Amino acid sequence: MTPPPVAALENGVTPAREVYTLADLRAWPEATAGIYPPLRLAVFGDPVAHSASPPMHNAALEALHINLRYTRVHVRPDELAEALHLAARWNFVGVNLTIPHKQAGVALVDMTKDEVINTVRMERMDTGVRLRGFNTDGPGFVQAVETELGVDIEEQRVLILGLGGAGRALALACYRERCPRLMLVNRTHAKAQALAAEFWATPDSSVTAVSWDDEALSRALAETDLVVNTSSLGLKPGDPSPLPPELIPPHVQVFDTVYLASGEPTPLEAAARAVGARCIGGRALLLHQGALAFEHWFGGVAPVEEMRRALSAAVGSR
C-alpha cells in the first residue's frame, strides 16, 4: 500500500517517515525528495519499527555537524541482498543489520572478519562500492558490562540464553575475553552443544552447554555471576520471562539485551528486580554497539553521552 503523502514543513523541508520499505529503496530519490539532511544511514530489520537507533544516531550526527540522517527500513529476509545493493547505489554511508539479518548478511558483504555482522560500511573505490561488514555487538557488550555494571567480563562466569546472531556474537566475545566459565543455553540443546564444541577450552576457561529446563538452569545459575538474555523473549506482549523469578539467585547480575520502546521493564528485568538482582536492559547494548558502528562509518570517537541522552529520551516516548 502506498503511504499517504506528507506535508512539507514551512521551510520547505519534508519530514522523514518513521519507517521505509524495499519499495521505497527502489525509488529512494523520489521517496525521500525534499528531506534534508538526506537519509544516508539506516537500520534494516524485520520487524524494525520499534528500533530506537535513529534518534541515537541522529543525535550523534547533529553533535558532530554531519549533514546526514539515519532512518528505519523494513527489510524481509528475502529482500536483504537487494536492499544492500540499493543502499550502495543511493550513496548510503552504511547500515545496521538487526533481527533476522545478522548471519545472512555475512554472505552478502565483500569483506568481513566476523561470522555474524550487524554493521555494514559502504566504501567507495574507483572500481565501485565495496561492502565491509563488522560486528559491534560483541565489543559493545564488553564495553556495556564494564561501563554500566562496573565489572570486568574476564572475571565473570557468564550464562547466555539464546544463541541466534546476537547470542553467538556475545558468546564469542566472552570466549575471546577468557571469562572463567561460559554456559550456553538454547531451546534447541543441540545448537548449544554445537557452539560449545566450536570453542576450544583454554587453560583458564571452560565452555559448556546447559539444557533449558528448570533443574539444569538452577544448577548452572548457582555458579553464575552474569546472566545474559539474547533470546527474543520479552519483545512481544504476553511473553514470559526467559527465567522465572524463583530460579534467579539474588547474587547474579542480569543483562537483558531486549528493550521495549515503551521504556517499561522487560519480563526478565522485572523478574530479576523482584528478587533483588542487579539488572541492566538492552538500551546499554544498543548504545555501546551503536557508538562503535558510528566510529566504523566516520572514524574518530562517537559522542556517546549525546547518544545516551537521545536514547533515554526516545525510549518510552514513542
The pLDDT assigned to 172 comes to: 92
Q: Which of 9-13, 33-37, 108-112, 155-159 has the lowest mean pLDDT?
A: 9-13
**Mean pLDDT over all residues of the chain?**
91
Could you give the residue range(s) of every CATH 3.40.50.720 domain in the chain?
137-284
The pLDDT assigned to 316 comes to: 65
Taking alpha carbons only, the member of 219, 212, 213, 209 closest to residue 249 is: 219
Angle between helices 282-298 and 304-314 (to 10 degrees): 140
Q: Report the catalytic residues.
A: 102
216-264 confidence digits (pLDDT tens): 999 999 999 999 999 988 888 889 999 999 999 999 999 999 888 788 8
Cα 174 to Cα 39, 80, 163, 218, distances in angstroms: 35, 29, 13, 21
Instruction: Quote the pTM value.
Output: 0.88
Q: Can you name the CATH fold of 20-135?
A: Rossmann fold (3.40.50)
Pick the CATH number of 137-284 from 3.50.50.60, 3.40.50.720, 3.40.50.2300, 3.20.20.370: 3.40.50.720
The pLDDT assigned to 201 comes to: 58
Cα–Cα distance for residue pair 242/280, rounded to 1 Å? 15
Could you give the residue range(s) of every CATH 3.40.50.10860 domain in the chain?
20-135
DSSP string computed for 31-70: HTTT-SS-EEEEEEESS-TT--HHHHHHHHHHHTT---EE
